[in-house]
Structures are given as structure tokens and as C-alpha cells.
Amino acid sequence: MSGLSGKRILLIICGGIAAYKALDLVRRLREREISVRAVMTAAAHHFVTPLSVASLSGDRVFTDLFSLTDEAEIGHIELSREADLVVVAPATADLLAKMAHGLADDLASTLLLATDKKILVAPAMNLRMWLAPPTVRNVAALRSDGVIFTGPANGDMACGEYGPGRMSEPLEILAAIEAALAGDTALPLPAAYRANPLARGGAGGLEGRRVVVTSGPTHEPIDPVRYIANRSSGKQGHAIAAAARAAGAEVTLISGPVALADPPGVATIHVETARDMQQAVEAALPADIFIGAAAVADWRTPEAAPGKLKKGVAATQTLPLIENPDILAAVGRRKQDRPALVVGFAAETEQLIEHAQEKRLAKGCDLIVANNVGAGANVFGGDRNEVTLIAADGMERWPSLSKAEVAAKLVARLARKLSEAPA
Ligand code: CTP
């Protein structure tokens, strides 16, 4: 078993004499337990058959952008995103030109334009086509867009000439795939989107929905100057509130004490303690989605001292603690007006998945976003997050992403789930 077992490749096969080598590539990927979903261009059918590709990949082959059956089973956007990496082998001059110019007139080019994953291409063409100025320009543009190239190699061409243009051998492509999969394969969001999430227009999927988000730590006073707190910065929760707003929702953010600005367009309520937060949540509900991203303090002192405790007190007294109400569990177990989707977070330092699964059940959540907050993970206060989504029907590990990307992906996921849920 290779370390990449379970990874998923979307393989696009173009028309070219090298297409037969794609079959060997599929076989070698499968040997490493990397799953392969193949898409063939119309021209590829002249060189290999969908049946031979399907028999080696163990999965059906997609060919047609306008197939209603395909679209009903798995939309082309989904197809382009569920993989960990998109590989084009062989990549023809024609497809590279389409990619470089953002054309999307068949399934392969549409998937390449719509994907949010890195793309690795193995070009194969006649050497004059490879060296032709338009191809040289297109390759330079694609490289600067972050497309990874493997090959082409020098060699004898099927057409009798010698030079660069031969597709890399399957083992070389495999090595390039393995190297790419070992890194972060997510494509950063386009700069225009990062600068202005509303650039997505009205297609956010949460128009007309209400979303309530908790974020940040809570402070539990011990006396007028001291409190119990934790390291939460609120960055992830605030990013989720902003992403939900950008997706069109009416958002209420209930924030503990943080050093962040209120997200534009989001009704933000500032609270200090867990009990204040709970009250604010109850007042903000009902909603379609509740997301508990706050790191609520688990304990408080039964009664904060009215005056500052003098330092000598530690010698004679221990600090009594009682448990705070569990805000998320109260929402998840609501009998009336329970949000259609209740999402919790699980911050763990060990046995991440087991503890997160237990939390999901114990707190009546639809989804738990689990993250490792152990030493070295740098989640608290940091700008990146590596999370695993845990639902009743399975789990999904996301690569390390910026907190804004985690937020956008999570919100897109919730919007889809909500649209699938029975009204
Ligand atoms: N949570 C909450 N109210 C609390 C404690 C936690 O709403 N009093 C929510 C958090 O917002 C988060 C989830 O519950 O969505 C899990 O929080 P976490 O701190 O990981 O778990 P705890 O329930 O506090 O359990 P433990 O500290 O034992 O891991």
C-alpha cells in the first residue's frame, strides 16, 4: 500500500497516439490504490475505447458535457472538484490552447476551467506543434497560472521526426503525480474573489437563508480584573460569518472578546461569557443554519468575586469551578425550531476522529468540523486550518487551507446540503 492510497485522480485523456500509454498509467495508479475517474475527449475515442479505460479504472468513463444522465448522477462541477488532482495525459496542443484561453466547449475543457484543484499535464504532440510560437505562448501562460508540466521528452515521433513532443513515460507521470499529491493540491481562490467575495454574484446559494454563527473565546470572570479564557482568535468563525454573508445569507455573528473587526454586512453581537453567548444565540434563533465555531469556556467560577482578590488568597483557597451550559448541544437537541443544519467544531489534541465523532452524536450535530489544535498545529491565532469534516454518512479530510478558504468551502457545502434537504 502506498502512502497515497485513497487519493483520487481525475484523468483527462485527449486524442493522440500516446493515449494508449494512459491505459498503463491508469493501471499503475490503481496498483497504488489511487482511484481514477477518467474523462475522454471526442478525439480520444479514435485511439482508445472507453471500455478499456473503464475496465482498468474500475469506474465509468465520462465523455459528454451535455449528458443528462451524467449530470443527474454527478454534475460536471462536482466531477471537477471531488478529485485531489486533475491530470491531463496526453495533453494535445489543442487542449493546452483551450486551457490557456479559458475555453470551455466540451466536458474536458469545462472541467479544467471549473476545477479548484491543481492540474498536471503531460503534453504529447509533433515537435513542430510543441515548438510553434502559439504553443510556446500557451505553455508559458499555463505555467504562470500554476499548471504543472511533466515532459514532453525528446524522441522519435510517430510521424518519423525526432525531437521534443513525446509524452513522458507512465512511470515519470506517476512520479510527477505522486510529488504533486504529496503537497497541497488545492488551487487558491482567484485574486478577484479574495478581494471581493461578492464577485461571485448572486450564485452564493444562501440567498434568503438565516445563519447564526458563534466565534471567538468566552471570558469567565474570576474577579473584576481576572478571567478564565482560551487561545481562540475568532478568525475561523468570523471568516465563516463573512463567507455566509457573501453567499447571500442574513447572518448574525455572536462573538466573544476578539481583536477582529466585525465582518461587513453581518449583524454582530458582542458578548463576554458563555451564558451571555447562550442568551444571544437563543435570541438570534430560529435560523436555517447554526454554526458553533466559538471556543466556549467549559468552566466558570460559581460567583465572580465582587472585589479584586488579593494575591495571598491562593495560599488559603482553591478556585471552585462549575460547568458552563453547552450552547451547541442545546441547539442540536432542540425539539422545536431546530435549525435544519447544526454544525459544531471539535478542537482536539489527540484521537481527533474518535472524539469528534463522539461529540457529533453527543451534541446532536449534523456536521462536526474537527481540527487538531495540538502543539505545533498553530491553529489558534494562525491563518490556516487543516480540518476533517465528520457527518453521519462519512468523513472528509481537507488539505491545509487558509481560514477564508475553509470558510468558503464549508459554506458552499452547507448551501448544497440545505438545498438537498427536504423542505
Ligand atoms: N461548545 C458550546 N458550548 C460549550 C462548549 C462547547 O457550544 N460550553 C461547542 C463549541 O462551540 C464547539 C463544540 O461545542 O462547536 C466543541 O467544543 P470543544 O471545546 O471541542 O468541546 P467540549 O464540548 O468543550 O469538550 P472537551 O473540552 O471535553 O473536548
Which tens digits make up the pLDDT trace of 213-244? Answer: 999 999 999 999 999 999 999 999 999 999 99
- CB distance 296 to ligand 1 below 6 Å: yes
What mean pLDDT value characterizes the chain? 90
pLDDT digits (tens, 9 = 90+) for 46-59: 999 999 999 999 99
From 115, 211, 129, 210, select the one nearest 167 (Cα to Cα).
Answer: 129
| Backbone dihedral angles phi then psi of residue 123, each to the nearest 5 degrees | -65, 150
What is the bridge-based pairing of β-strands 61-62 and 148-149? unpaired
In whole angstroms, give the CA distance from residue 112 to residue 391. 29
- CB distance 346 to ligand 1 below 6 Å: yes
| Whether the predicted pLDDT of 74 surpasses 50 | yes
Q: Do 362 and 329 touch, CB atoms closer than 8 A?
A: yes
Q: Which amino acid residue places its CA nearest to atom 8 of ligand 1? A: 326
pLDDT of residue 318: 86
DSSP annotation string for 214-250:
EESB--EESSSS-EE-----SHHHHHHHHHHHHTT-E
In whole angstroms, give the CA distance from residue 20 to residue 169. 11
- Quick check: pTM over 0.85? no
Q: Which three three-digit cell numbers place residue 30?
A: 490503481
Counting Cα atoms < 13 Å in the Cβ hemisphere of 268 gives: 22
Among 107-116, 259-268, 359-368, the range of highest mean pLDDT: 359-368
From 97, 150, 164, select the one nearest 119 (Cα to Cα).
Answer: 150
- CB distance 274 to ligand 1 below 6 Å: yes
N residues, the chain: 423
Cα(292) to ligand 1 centroid in Å equals: 9
pLDDT of residue 196: 46
Greater pLDDT, 182 or 102: 102
pLDDT of residue 36: 97
| Whether the predicted pLDDT of 393 surpasses 70 | yes
Element (H, E) at 26: helix 19-31
From 403, 395, 387, select the one nearest 357 (Cα to Cα).
Answer: 395
Cα(55) to ligand 1 centroid in Å equals: 47
From 328, 366, 371, the mutation candidate for ligand 1 (largest count of ligand atoms within 8 A of CB) is 328
If pLDDT is split at 50, 70 and 90, which confidence band does 187 have? confident
Q: Which amino acid residue places its CA nearest to atom 28 of ligand 1? A: 298
pLDDT of residue 38: 96
pLDDT of residue 201: 42
Cα(325) to ligand 1 centroid in Å equals: 10
Q: Which amino acid residue places its CA nearest to atom 24 of ligand 1? A: 298
Query: Mean pLDDT, to the nearest integer, of 96-119?
Result: 94
- In the three-class reduction of DSSP (H, G, I as helix; E, B as strand; rest coil), residue 275 is classed as helix
Instruction: Give the nearest ligand 1 atom to 329 CA.
Output: 7
Instruction: Give the nearest ligand 1 atom to 344 CA.
Output: 15
If pLDDT is split at 50, 70 and 90, which confidence band does 423 have? low
| Backbone dihedral angles phi then psi of residue 383, each to the nearest 5 degrees | -105, 0
- CB distance 359 to ligand 1 below 6 Å: yes
pLDDT of residue 82: 84
Q: CB neighbours of 38 closer than 8 A, spacing ≥ 6? A: 10, 11, 12, 13, 26, 53, 54, 57, 59, 61, 62
Catalytic residue among 74, 159, 171, 283: 159
pLDDT of residue 186: 77
Residue 414 neighbours by CB distance under 10 Å: 27
Query: Mean pLDDT, to the nearest integer, of 344-369?
Result: 94
Query: Mean pLDDT, to the nearest integer, of 291-319?
Result: 91
From 324, 326, 355, the mutation candidate for ligand 1 (largest count of ligand atoms within 8 A of CB) is 326
Q: What is the Cα Rg of the chain in Å?
A: 26
Clarify whether 159 is annotated catalytic: yes
- DSSP structural state of residue 370: E
Q: Which amino acid residue places its CA nearest to atom 4 of ligand 1? A: 326
Q: CB neighbours of 313 closer than 8 A, spacing ≥ 6? A: none
CA distances from 65 to 76, 107, 360 (A): 7, 4, 38
Q: CB neighbours of 389 closer than 8 A, spacing ≥ 6? A: 367, 368, 369, 370, 395, 396, 397, 398, 410, 413
Query: Mean pLDDT, to the nearest integer, of 14-33?
Result: 96
- In the three-class reduction of DSSP (H, G, I as helix; E, B as strand; rest coil), residue 420 is classed as helix
Cα(205) to ligand 1 centroid in Å equals: 28
- Cis ω for the linkage preceding 339 (within 30 of 0): no
pLDDT digits (tens, 9 = 90+) for 350-359: 898 999 999 9
From 68, 58, 65, select the one nearest 35 (Cα to Cα).
Answer: 58
| Whether the predicted pLDDT of 416 surpasses 70 | yes
pLDDT digits (tens, 9 = 90+) for 6-18: 899 999 999 999 9
| Whether the predicted pLDDT of 271 surpasses 80 | yes
